[in-house]
Structures are given as C-alpha cells and as structure tokens.
Chain A
C-alpha cells in the first residue's frame, strides 16, 4: 500500500528530470494482488513527474513480442529514455529498491551513466554482448 512517505520520496526523487523516460509495464492480462500493487506504484511514479510516461501492456503472453523486447516473463518493467538501455526489472521496485529505481530513472533521463573515467575505459574494452542478472532481496 502506498503511503505519503512513498509519494514524497517519488516527488523528491524525480525532481528536475531533464529528458523523457518511458516505463513499459508488461503484465499478465489477469491481474493479481502483487501486480495491482506494482502497477499502483508505477502509476504513482508516473504522476511524480511530467517527464515520466507509463505504458501498461496487460496482454496475454506474446513470445514474439517478448523476445523482441528481451523479457523472460511478466510482470516486467522496461525503463527507457532516448534509447532502450536494456534495463529490465522483475519484481516491484518497492521498499529499499525504490530509491535505487528512482536513481536509475534519473540516470536514464540524463542519458549518462555517471561512471568514473577509469570504469568507462574498462567498459569500452567490451566487444560482445554482456547480460547481467542482479538478484536482490524482497523487502
């Protein structure tokens, strides 16, 4: 359930976004308590800034479309800005993850990683696809 604390954190976290961000929410056509809560959180995030647009795709599983987007299952959240950076969330970015999600939204809006120069130099050595899976805990 969303609290005033959530709303304040969202407003504060999204203040001053520079460029538009789109949140694509791929969710099953039959809602559950968990997906309704997740959707409510994303709607609140979209209300938090006129630069954030939420697009809800509540359909049956479409493997061709999901393959094209690169998602393994629904519900999934795709955060994109000027381009699709390949950032996917599985599980509601609630609790401790909310601040991190808002920070990702800001960085996507900005289109800059904010990595140190040495890190950027290391990343520039990559010559092929690298897929990361970061497992975090429920809160």
Chain B
C-alpha cells in the first residue's frame, strides 16, 4: 500500500497526490523523474524508488521540517 496515503491518514498535516505521470507528464519534467516512484515534498524532489517504511518516513519528516 502507498506509504504516502498511510502518512496522510496518520497526520492531519499531510496531504498526498498519487499521480500517474501519463496524465500529468509535466510533473515528471518538473522533478526530473528518472525512476518510479518518485516522491516530492512541498514541491521539492525528495525520494526516488521504493524505500522501507522507516527510511521513507524519516525522509518525508526531515523535508517537512525544513
């Protein structure tokens, strides 16, 4: 299951868009996507590829606290 959706359920501060790049290809260009999935946090590229839960959450929270 999408970890980003789990995070959105967990915290009222978090929202998530799960985007098929075929329908919004400009986002792939904006974030320089060269691997899937790619996650952006507050419009900055943050994580690439499938990460373990702990690593993913740490990256998201670290970016979110900047």
Q: Is the Cβ of A131 less than 8 Å from the Cβ of B20? A: no
Report B-chain residues with C-beta under 8 Å of the C-beta of A128.
13, 64
Interface size on B, residues (CB 8 A): 43
Report B-chain residues with C-beta under 8 Å of the C-beta of A131.
14-17, 41-43
Question: Min CB distance, A81 to chain B, in Å?
Answer: 8
Residue of A nearest to B64 (CB): A130
Q: Is the Cβ of A88 less than 8 Å from the Cβ of B16? A: yes
Interface size on A, residues (CB 8 A): 47
Q: Is the Cβ of B22 less than 8 Å from the Cβ of A115? A: no
Q: Is the Cβ of A126 less than 8 Å from the Cβ of B17? A: no
Report A-chain residues with C-beta under 8 Å of the C-beta of B18.
87-90, 93, 97, 134, 136
Knowing A87-B18, A115-B53, A134-B2 touch, does A123 contact B61 (C-beta < 8 A)? Answer: yes
Q: Which residues of A contact B (CB under 8 A)?
A: 34, 70, 72-73, 75, 79, 85-93, 97, 100, 103-104, 107-108, 111-116, 118-120, 122-138
Other A-B contacts than A90-B23, A97-B18, A138-B21, 13 sampled, CB-CB below 8 A, are A85-B5, A87-B5, A87-B15, A87-B16, A104-B5, A107-B5, A114-B1, A115-B7, A129-B13, A130-B15, A131-B43, A133-B39, A136-B37
